[in-house]
Amino acid sequence: MPTIAYFYGMAIQMQAPMTNEFPMVDVLRAQALDGHRLLLRFSDGSEGVYDLSGMIAEGGEMVIPLSSPEYFGRVFVEAGVPTWPNGFDLDPINLYMELRGTGALKQTALASGR
């Protein structure tokens, strides 16, 4: 690692350069679809469909209300995060990385300049 400075006689070293491995993205839009899926548009212009049916099937106090299609449809975006009225939310970076990892992210025409 390259040394970038000294502080009280100690060398301060820099880590490897940051990559887009953990992109800093927000969700701009979340639209509920049938089958407990969300259409998500991210701040980098990409979008994808995320399936929450497995998570909902596992249950849990915060997730149980989402099993109702009407309640699931009440999703909104708060500070870049998909959220429901009971306070349940999903991490946008994790959503992005999972969609990217499965090849489910697509660039929108707006993002590609068309």
Q: Which of 15-19, 78-82, 90-94, 101-105 is the least confident region?
A: 15-19
With a pLDDT cut of 90, the percent of the chain lying above it is 73
Parse the chain into domains and list their residue ranges.
Answer: 27-107
Output the DSSP codes for the chain. --EEEEETTEEEEPPSPP-TTS----EEEEEEETTTEEEEEETTSEEEEEE-HHHHHH--TTTGGGGSHHHHTT-EEETTEEE-TTS-B--HHHHHHHHHHTT--EE-TTTTT-
Report whether pLDDT(1) > 80. Answer: no
Return the CATH number of 27-107, one of 3.30.2020.10, 3.30.40.230, 3.40.50.300, 3.40.50.11810: 3.30.2020.10
Report whether pLDDT(105) > 90. Answer: yes
Q: What is the reported pTM?
A: 0.77
